[in-house]
Amino acid sequence: MRYHNKPYDQLQIGDSAELKRICTEDDFYVFAANSGNHNPLHLASEDGDGDKVNEAIAPALFVGALISAVLGNILPGAGTLYKSQLLEFSGRAVAGDELLARVTVVEKRPNREVLMDTSVTRCSDGAVIVSGPAVVIAPDREMSFKDIEVPGLVVQRHRHFDALLERSRPLDPIPTAVVAPENPNSLGGALLAARETIIRPILVGDPTKIAQAAQALDASLDGIEIVEATAHSEAAQRAVDLVVDGHAGALMKGHMHTDDLLRAALRRERGLRAGRRFTHVFVMDVPGQPHPILVTDAAINIEPDLETKIDITQNAIDLAISIGMETPKVGVLSAVETVNPAIRSSIDAALLSKMAERGQIRGGLVDGPLAMDNAVSMAAARTKGIVSPVAGRADILVVPNLDAGNMLAKQLTYIAHAEGAGVVLGAKVPIILNSRADDDKARLASCAVAALHAARTGGRGA
């Protein structure tokens, strides 16, 4: 975009310019961060006036600042300085409104001062949101700028997880055996999910340690069933028994090693095998991304062969459908986007893609091999000439092995500020598999994902 100003001596009475802008919830979060105005009326996550509706009303000075965008970008443009601005607010805008900011030259004064009539109106109905005169000092020379670069901003909020939580709340709480919730972090996540009516926890572990964790949280365990098990292996066995006997519809890992939990779930007698292999999926809410990104398998299958990758892919598609993706797009990752016989992951990716075409993998669009860049970036896919309904749009990323998946998920978490919900599929019920370092948000989202999947599949994990 080229910016071309209009200096004082070229301005004429009646000259006018305008800009359109759609207000977004993220705009208001950025304004709150920059201005320090944290009025909850302006924040989509809050009910600012107690009427049980989250308003997301545009901050008045955010709307007023749209006038300065016209003055500084177009008329008079680059080099313009404010001297005064009177703003009279006669309406309100909300997130989603498209606004039109307009300025008109009314009078030219000495010393390059220009009186401007300014206003912001709502495009949908022409309602005036704000209006008033401005006096600016116009530039004294003509200037032109091309491609002025302004650093991009990413709002670090997790709106995809918020949406999943909203979808899960109307469901009946899923009875969930929480295995060894013996520290504040693991117990707190389960209790939070219970308060949100997503799960009905059954705590399985050492009652003394569980009570100490509750005390550290200043939380009550009244009305919550506790099944005593001193050792973690015993807790895992008893939790799986609860599922087998029909008392629980999901498992949730507490403060314990994953191996202990899965060993009990995979036992031949009274275990949770359901036909497919157990596979792990991270549902990642990455700030700035238009949809959740699923990463699989990052926690269970170390060096999966093709047969295992079939189950990994199918399980991930099934979960994506459960959380609202109608036809999930699966990018099977490799280091390259062409088949190379020396790179096994590229061959596996091509075979998975062809199997999906033949109906051996169902419910999603599968393409590979794709490198990470052209799986998630349309620009990268176009640059490399890849024509595919998946390239640049992948909802699910199937990685070559556990190393790659674990690194990718943790990079998204610690560099891109994502939150990750972890679930194991392929069992008779979903297994909520959190990291011991996960915070309450991740644990709560994991419960929501498991509840949505259980509701769609009738309680089955696959």
For 350-377, the pLDDT digits (tens) are 999 999 999 999 999 999 999 999 999 9
pLDDT of residue 232: 95
Name the residue with higher pLDDT: 460 or 301.
301
pLDDT of residue 148: 77
Distance of CA 272 to the CA centre of its chain: 31
The 10s digit of each residue's pLDDT in 254-275 is 999 999 999 999 999 999 998 8
pLDDT of residue 151: 80
The 10s digit of each residue's pLDDT in 428-450 is 999 999 876 777 788 899 999 99
pLDDT of residue 84: 97
pLDDT of residue 458: 75
Residue 218: name the closest of 191, 237, 245 by CA.
191
pLDDT of residue 459: 56
The 10s digit of each residue's pLDDT in 272-331 is 998 899 999 999 999 888 899 999 999 999 999 999 999 999 999 999 999 999 999 999
pLDDT category at 407 given cuts 50, 70, 90 is very high
Contacts of 216 (CB under 8 A, 6+ apart): 184
Q: How far apart are CA 96 and CA 355, in angstroms?
A: 42
Contacts of 162 (CB under 8 A, 6+ apart): 45
pTM more than 0.75: yes
The 10s digit of each residue's pLDDT in 53-83 is 888 999 999 999 999 999 999 999 999 999 9
In sequence order, what are the beta bridge partners of 431?
251, 424
User: Would the pLDDT of 201 be above 50?
Assistant: yes
pLDDT of residue 290: 85
pLDDT of residue 52: 81
pLDDT of residue 442: 85
**Cis check: omega of the bond before 76, within 30 degrees of 0:** yes
pLDDT of residue 21: 94
The mean of the pLDDT values for the chain is 93
pLDDT category at 461 given cuts 50, 70, 90 is very low
Q: How far apart are CA 125 and CA 116, in angstroms?
A: 24
pLDDT of residue 82: 96
Residue 191, φ and ψ in degrees, nearest 5: -65, -35
The 10s digit of each residue's pLDDT in 133-165 is 999 999 999 998 887 788 877 777 778 898 899
State percent of the chain over pLDDT 70: 98
The residue-averaged pLDDT of 217-243 equals 95
Name the residue with higher pLDDT: 18 or 290.
18
Contacts of 72 (CB under 8 A, 6+ apart): 78, 80
pLDDT of residue 363: 96
pLDDT category at 460 given cuts 50, 70, 90 is very low
Distance of CA 324 to the CA centre of its chain: 13
The 10s digit of each residue's pLDDT in 87-131 is 999 999 999 999 999 999 999 999 999 999 999 999 999 999 999
Degrees to nearest 5, angle at CA 287 with 281 and 289: 75
Q: What domains can you pick out in the chain, each with its CATH number? A: 2-146 (3.10.129.10), 159-328+395-457 (3.40.718.10)
pLDDT of residue 441: 80
How deeply is 137 buried, as exposed, middle or buried, from its count of CB atoms within 10 A (0-12, 13-18, 19+)?
A: middle
